[in-house]
Amino acid sequence: MIIKHFFLFLFSYWMVSISGFINSDIVFSQIITKNDIENSGIVRISEVLLLIDDSRVISHEGFTWKASINGLSSYQNQNWIIKIDDVRYYRNLFDVNNLNMLPITLFDILYVEIFNVPGLCNSEFVESGMIHFHTDRSVESKNKYSGYAVIGSETGDGGPYNTVENHSSPNVDKTGPILSIRNKFNVNDFQIITSFIGHSHCFSDSKLRKRNEYSITDGETWAGIKRISPSLTIIKRAETIQHELNANFSYSDKYPFFLESLGREIPTYSTFSNIGYKNEKIISSKRKIKSSIQYSFNQLKKYPNIYNFDFDWNLHIVTSTLELEQQNIIDRIGVIAEYDKLNTDYQLHKDHFFLFKFYCNSRYFINDKFEIDASLKIVTNKKKYVPKTSLSQIFTIDNHNKILSSISYISNLPEENPNLLYWSKNGYNLLEVNGFDYIFEDPIQSESKLTYDLIFKSNYNKYFDITLNGKFRSFQNLNLEKQSYTFNNETFSFDSPTEIISGINGKIIEISLRLKQNINQNFNHIFFFSYQKSVKGDDLFISNWEKIPQNKFSYQCNLSLFNDIEIGIIFNYFSKTKWSNYNQIEGESYNISSQEIFYTASLKAIKTTNIKIQKKFLNKKITGSLIVQNLFDENYIYHPIGASFDLAYFIQISFDI
């Protein structure tokens, strides 16, 4: 009842305040520039998650990552949005959003916008964060080639000791390579961009290799991931209209898909493809119409495995968007139609659904110091309507100081996060068929959350920026997985029935501080600290948030030297975490190079330092870099049964001609 009244209040406030709106962009966002990426010592696109100020991350093999961005979701509900150049990419597969399957590399990125406060941004209502990659689409040169190659190795293998009895350990001669080539061709009004990416990722961790080599039955011993990704974009620019056609495809063979409910990886053939068309038409000096249609295809096919496990997953998604942008009462109004269809041999009760989404956004300047932004999105599956709404205010104290606040209420239909639970309810009994218990209540409840952010921003002078942030999140009716794993000696993996508990509630609070100092144009450094805690909630909610580090600390320093030499150092600290669903594996062990190493449900704090030294040659056309990740060789893991990461180094060469 309180929530309904709150929503009515927000809606009426929004309706009253729309008169006198003018168009401009309010963003509660973080911008990660190409320079930030170049100096950070990251090599894979998924590692951009490590550069987001307020994100906590995990990866169990270094290729597939999960993130909790700004406390908007736990590691369950990975429904943060991915966009590249204003095109949405549907990469969510059983609650895994894999950035490494995108058709771009780090080198292609011009900048990344991170939206981490709920609200309407680029036609999407941001609920759990949005990562928007922008690539270089400039038209200065007629024909431009760029390429990128990175190769490296992770330390910690046996090396020459592999020839000595009882001293061998997983041998990783190389990590990568990641190879990419891109051509941008401009002729008349047309721009044609083609690219190709080849990427290998090798498992360096002993237990991970053992688990995967056991499950693969085609006689291969190499355990790792290989993927290719070609893409094509054609843009036609005219005076008042722009057309864009994009097509891309990512394919990975022997992708070891890790499903938490299974406690192990299952090798698969994984495919993501996108074909889309969009246009933007300027209809007057104050109005613009955007329309788009996108088709996405996500597939998981069977790869020979000892469990005979077959995902048989062929998901087709068609979305169509129509949006009006104007400098008027309502600055953005639009409608999205989405159709999802799952093709599989599992007997489904329902193999498709439709979603219709209506949204609008407005901004109102009360006076020159106070402005309000309001957004609303209504989503329906034709049976039920749910709202998503946000209200933000910016109060400008003076030229140097601002206070921003944002409040939002978001309710979700089960179709909006069509994960394993949703499709299992509709007959996709993947786990039951393969002998795993998967227990859930029927019907699935609609989840909702209430968020509040208060931000103080101060650019004390041109050398010094401070951002102080306080947040509150209240989650209602969550559907969370509950497991209690035991170790399976024969398969080197972990077994547990999975129970979905519905109606879980909980609240978290967080404070964060970001300081940036530009000492001079050649040297700047950034300090970030945040503390997050679940303050109230059901036991399952609290234990779920114990998997997310309470404290995060990061320090980044960028230094430019003579002759185009740049040095970047980044340090990240994530405090210890506790994984109560793995309590029963305490004391289980595995052997590596005659040493016994124990599994644990309590993970120690993670401290990583990356350093990158970069030199540009031939008028900046060629760049060579040396990257060292985990400089102090701290042995750390993100996940109780995940890989441990050691010191790794990479040589990176790129060209832009």
Contacts with other proteins, residue ranges (CB under 8 A): 153, 155-164, 167, 169, 171, 173-174, 522-523, 559, 561-563, 567, 569, 592-593, 611, 617-618, 626, 628, 631-633, 646-647, 649
Nearer Cβ to other proteins (65/650): 650
Distance between alpha carbon 397 and the CA centroid of its chain, in Å? 34
Using CA atoms, how far apart are residues 132 and 543, in angstroms rounded to an integer?
Answer: 31
Q: Is 326 exposed, middle or buried (0-12, 13-18, 19+ CB in 10 A)?
A: middle
Q: How far is the CB of 566 from other proteins (least distance, A)?
A: 11
- Mark out the alpha helices in 131-279 (DSSP H runs): 206-215
Q: Which is nearer to other proteins, 330 or 559 (CB)?
A: 559
* Terminal-to-terminal C-alpha distance of the chain: 62
Question: What beta strand segments (E) does 188-223 contain?
Answer: 190-202
Distances (CA, A) of 435 to 305, 442, 495, 504: 15, 21, 11, 27
Tokens of 243: 């057309």
CB nearer other proteins, residue 297 or residue 649: 649
Q: How far is the CB of 464 from other proteins (least distance, A)?
A: 19
d(CA 529, CA 540): 27
CB of 181 to other proteins, least distance (A): 23
Q: Are 543 and 564 in contact (CB under 8 A)?
A: no
> Of 605 and 631, which has the nearer Cβ to other proteins?
631
In the complex, the smallest distance separating the C-beta of residue 234 from other proteins, rounded to whole angstroms, is 37
> Which H, E and C letters describe 519-585, residue by residue?
EECCEEEEEEEEEEEEEEECHHHHHHHCCCCCEEEEEEEEEECHHHEEEEEEEEEECCEECHHHHHH
Smaller CB separation from other proteins, 205 or 280: 205
Residue 627 class from Cβ within 10 Å (0-12 exposed, 13-18 middle, 19+ buried)? Answer: buried
Which residues, other chains included, contact 138 with Cβ-Cβ below 8 Å and sequence gap of 6+? none
What is the rounded distance in angstroms from the CA atom of residue 451 to the CA atom of residue 409?
7
SS3 of residue 235 by DSSP: strand
Q: In the complex, what is the shortest distance from the CB of residue 603 to other proteins, in angstroms, rounded to a whole number?
A: 20
295 or 649: whose CB is closer to other proteins?
649
Asked if omega into 443 is within 30° of 0 (cis), the reply is yes
Other C-beta atoms within 10 Å of 382: how many?
9
Least Å from the CB of residue 643 to other proteins:
14
CB of 549 to other proteins, least distance (A): 21
Nearer Cβ to other proteins (163/399): 163
With H, G, I as helix, E, B as strand and everything else as coil, classify residue 348: coil
The residue among 171 and 347 lying less far from other proteins, judged by its C-beta, is: 171
| Closest CB 646 distance from other proteins, rounded Å | 7
Which is closer to other proteins, CB of 71 or CB of 156?
156
**b/e for 284-313, b at 16 or more Cβ within 10 A?**
eeeebbbebebbbbbbbeebebebebbbbb
Of 185 and 649, which CB lies nearer to other proteins in the complex structure? Answer: 649
Report the SS3 class of residue 402: strand
Give the C-alpha separation, 282 to 354, whole Å. 30
H or E segment to which residue 8 belongs: helix 2-17
Q: Which pair of structure tokens corresponds to residue 437?
A: 């218990």
Amino acid at 366: I
Q: How far is the CB of 628 from other proteins (least distance, A)?
A: 8
Instruction: Please identify, using beta-carbon distances, which residue of 156 and 549 lies nearer to other proteins.
Output: 156
Cβ closest to other proteins, residue 454 vs residue 651 = 651
CB of 170 to other proteins, least distance (A): 9
